[in-house]
Amino acid sequence: MSTATAHSKPRIELYDNIKGVLIVLVVIGHFMHPVHNDNPAISAGFDIIYLFHMPLFVFMSGLFAKGAYRDGKLAVNRIISYLVLGFAYQAALVLINGSALFPKLFLFSSAPWYLIAMAWWYAMTPLLARVRPALGIAASCAVALAWGVVDLSSGLLAISRTLTFLPWFACGYYLDPERVARVRTSKWLWAAVAVAAAVAIARLVNPTAYDWFFQRVYGDTPYLAGTALGMVEKVVATGISVVFSLAVIKLTPAGGHPHLLALGQRTLQVYVLHRLLRAALTFRTPFYDLPILLDPVWGTLIILAISALACAACAALPLQNAFNRLMRHAWLRSVR
Whole-number Å distance between alpha carbons of 256 and 28: 23
User: What number is the average pLDDT over the span 238-252?
Assistant: 96
- The per-residue pLDDT for range 276-330, each reduced to its tens digit, is 999 999 999 999 999 999 999 999 999 999 999 999 999 999 999 999 999 999 9
Domains: count for the chain: 1
Integer Rg of the chain from CA:
19
> What are the residues whose beta carbons fall under 8 Å from the beta carbon of 114, sequence distance 6 or more?
1, 54, 57, 86, 158, 271
Q: What percent of the chain has pLDDT over 70?
A: 96
Q: Which amino acid is at 114?
A: Y
Whole-number Å distance between alpha carbons of 44 and 46: 5
281 is in which domain, residue-wise?
13-327
Q: What three-state secondary structure class fits 70?
A: strand
Whole-number Å distance between alpha carbons of 101 and 105: 6
DSSP 319: -
H/E stretch holding 74 reads strand 73-74
For residues 219 and 146, is the Cβ–Cβ distance under 8 A? no
Sign of the Cα pseudo-torsion (75, 76, 81, 82, in order): positive
DSSP 203-226: HHH-TTTTTTHHHHHH--S--TT-
Q: What three-state secondary structure class fits 65?
A: coil
> What are the residues whose beta carbons fall under 8 Å from the beta carbon of 167, sequence distance 6 or more?
137, 140, 141, 144, 238
- The per-residue pLDDT for range 155-201, each reduced to its tens digit, is 999 999 999 999 999 999 999 998 888 888 899 999 999 999 999 99
For residues 154 and 105, is the Cβ–Cβ distance under 8 A? no
Does residue 209 have a pLDDT over 90?
no
Q: What three-state secondary structure class fits 86?
A: helix
- The per-residue pLDDT for range 32-85, each reduced to its tens digit, is 999 999 999 999 999 999 999 999 999 999 999 999 999 999 999 999 999 999
The reply to whether 310 falls in a domain is: yes
The reply to whether 219 falls in a domain is: yes
The whole model's pTM is what?
0.94
The reply to whether 8 falls in a domain is: no
State the pLDDT at residue 12: 81
Does residue 335 have a pLDDT over 80?
no
Whole-number Å distance between alpha carbons of 248 and 56: 9
How many C-beta atoms surround the C-beta of residue 149 within 10 A? 11
> What are the residues whose beta carbons fall under 8 Å from the beta carbon of 232, sequence distance 6 or more?
none
State the pLDDT at residue 1: 60
For residues 294 and 41, is the Cβ–Cβ distance under 8 A? no
The reply to whether 7 falls in a domain is: no
Please give the C-alpha separations between residue 253 and each of 175, 206, 264, in angstroms, as whole numbers: 20, 31, 13
H/E stretch holding 3 reads none
Whole-number Å distance between alpha carbons of 141 and 160: 13
The reply to whether 2 falls in a domain is: no
The reply to whether 81 falls in a domain is: yes
- φ, ψ (nearest 5 deg) of residue 73: -120, 130
Q: Which amino acid is at 56?
A: L
- Neighbour-count burial of 320, counting CB atoms closer than 10 A to its CB (0-12 exposed, 13-18 middle, 19+ buried): middle
The reply to whether 161 falls in a domain is: yes
DSSP 152: -
The reply to whether 4 falls in a domain is: no
For residues 192 and 243, is the Cβ–Cβ distance under 8 A? yes
